[in-house]
Amino acid sequence: MLKNYKWLVSAFALLFLLLVGIQIYFLYKTYQIKENNIYDQLDKNLDRHQSVLRKKLKISDDTIQKRLISFNKGEITKKQLLDFFTKNKETVKPFFSHYVDSIASKSNLEVAISRQYKSILSTPDNKYILDSIVTIYETNRPITKIGRRYGGEWETSTENRDDKTDHLNGLYEFKVKTYYNLQILNIKSIVFRDLTILILSCILILAAVLWLFTLTIKNLISQQKQVEILHTVVDNIAHEFKTPIATLKIAAKSLRKDWNPENLPLVERQINRLESLMQQLHENDDDENVETYYDDWSNYIEDLQFANAKVEFVLHNTTPNTLPFNRTAMETLIKNLCENSAKYGATRVEIDLKAIQNTLDIKIADNGNGIPKKEQQRIFEKFYRIQSDNIHNTKGLGLGLFLVKDIVTRYNGSIELISEPGKGTTFKIALPYED
């Protein structure tokens, strides 16, 4: 059934995936903007205190310059220079961490910062004093993944002159390249917390679209199924009407040629058959309370025996002379159940009728084909007929058992089905009544 809407499902799948992609892209860009805003605000807050921080850290350009000159003169080794940076880093780490936390905690941020020298070049002789990254200061929290990195460069120069002659003994120039690294360790949780409503809204929108589409497909499939059922019903009605119409035509021609009273019962039977077919297509609106008499049950069985000569119908009737049930309804109930037995392979059908404690018990058992378990839940549905390999092997409107169930329901009764393929079928009906 769904393959008839394959193009619709495919189109929706593509559009839904496109919508999901747009939503994901929108959330990703919103996440980036939010993250950048948090970093920008943190940068502003830290910049306000840079001057105070430099004084507290006791690291000035002059101090570093003196160390570099000492190294160039050979007064200290490279190891001593690196030890100076390391010792200074460990000395200022507690204060620097406290300073950063005091600013970041106002926004519930967990921040890690490090300042590094990428390289130090002595420009006069074009010689690298440092050719690897050295950390100058950092927080207690280590950086696990750099969120932002700012690169910088500064130069310093000093002339060494003789105090008496003012002779230039040496020129010291250095070019220093630096990194300033920044990471907000809990940035994801903060951003996602702020975007929770937006994310939930996107999910709800996608879920609503998917639900509406699923509901639409279900309705389309249901409508198509109903149309197919109606088409099948119309075909079956046409088939059922052919026989009585053809018989009436023959009878009419016969009467036109030669008046014969023996043809009248034939005409009446076919008219009754047409009327019965018409009544099956409508709800039973006959509210006239016509009692059912003892002999009526026998008449129903005789009619069934005449129409189905190859089937043996056996009646066991211990009911009283009259019962407060609509005669037409009881005829429909008995005949529909028995005709179903005849249609589906039964050669013997037993009908047991008992009236016990103001309840009419009807039991109809046959030795027919039986009804598969998977079909038993649906056989009372309107227009439903048992299928074999998706093919209806018997003709009919699919209304017989539906009408039986409707009659039982109208009398507040119950119906029980016992059946097994190859072992026949038994219907047990209980109809309560008042004297």
Instruction: Supply the DSSP string of 82-111, one letter for each residue.
Output: HHHHHHHHHHHHHHHHHHHHHHHGGGT--E
Cα dist. 328→105, 238, 335, 404 in Å?
88, 24, 10, 12
User: For position 297, what pLDDT does the model report?
Assistant: 92
Which of 194, 228, 258 corresponds to the end of one domain? 194
Looking at the fold, whether 187 and 296 belong to one and the same domain comes out as: no
CA–CA dist 419, 366 (Å, integer): 10
- Domain boundaries, position 110: 49-194
Residues 67 and 187 in one domain: yes
Q: Name the percent of the chain in helix, strand, coil, to the closest 5.
A: 55, 20, 25
Model confidence pTM above 0.75: no
23 inside domain: no
Profile the chain (435 residues) by mean pLDDT over runs of 10 residues: 70 89 92 92 80 61 79 85 87 87 89 91 85 87 92 80 61 86 93 91 92 88 80 63 64 69 65 67 54 89 82 94 88 88 91 94 94 84 63 57 89 93 93 88
| Co-location of 60 and 180 in the same domain | yes
Residue 412 confidence (pLDDT): 93
Which token pair is 286? Answer: 């006959």
Strand partners, 155: 175
- Among the listed residues 368, 367, 338, the one whose alpha carbon sits nearest the alpha carbon of residue 353: 338
- Structure confidence at residue 267 (pLDDT): 67
297 plus 170 within the same structural domain: no
HSE-CB for 54 with a 13 A CA cutoff: 8
Same domain, 297 and 409: yes
Domain end marker among 175, 194, 213 = 194
Q: Is residue 369 part of a domain?
A: yes
Does any domain span residue 263?
no
Q: So what's the pLDDT on residue 282?
A: 59
Rounded CA-CA distance 96/100 in Å is 6
In a domain? residue 250: no
Q: What is the pLDDT of residue 203?
A: 92
CB 174 within 8 Å of CB 123 = yes
Does residue 377 contact residue 362 with C-beta atoms inside 8 Å? Answer: no
Record the tokens describing residue 125, joined without a space.
Answer: 């002789």
Is 8 within the bounds of a domain? no
Query: 131, 166, 194 — which closes off a domain?
Result: 194
190 and 53, same structural domain?
Answer: yes
Closest CA to 335 of 299, 291, 383, 288: 299
- Spatial separation of the C-alpha atoms in residues 429 and 418, rounded to whole Å: 11
- Cα–Cα distance for residue pair 294/275, rounded to 1 Å: 25
Q: Are 165 and 302 members of one domain?
A: no
> Do 295 and 428 belong to one domain?
yes
- Number of C-beta neighbours around residue 106 at 10 A: 9
Residues 299 and 174 in one domain: no
Q: Is 211 inside a domain boundary?
A: no
Is the torsion defined by CA of 88, 94, 95, 100 positive or negative? positive
In this predicted structure, what is the pLDDT of residue 347? Answer: 93
Look up the CATH number of the domain holding residue 412. Answer: 3.30.565.10
CA angle 319, 321, 325 (to 5 degrees): 75
- Are 54 and 182 contained in the same domain? yes
Predicted local distance difference test score (pLDDT) of residue 431: 95
Residues 190 and 322 in one domain: no
Bridge partners (DSSP) of residue 151 are 179
How do beta strands 111-122 and 168-184 pair? antiparallel
Give the count of domains, the chain: 2
CA distances 27 to 38, 149, 197, 222, Å, are: 16, 24, 12, 38
Strands 148-161 and 127-130: unpaired
Q: Is residue 103 part of a domain?
A: yes
Residue 86 included in any domain: yes
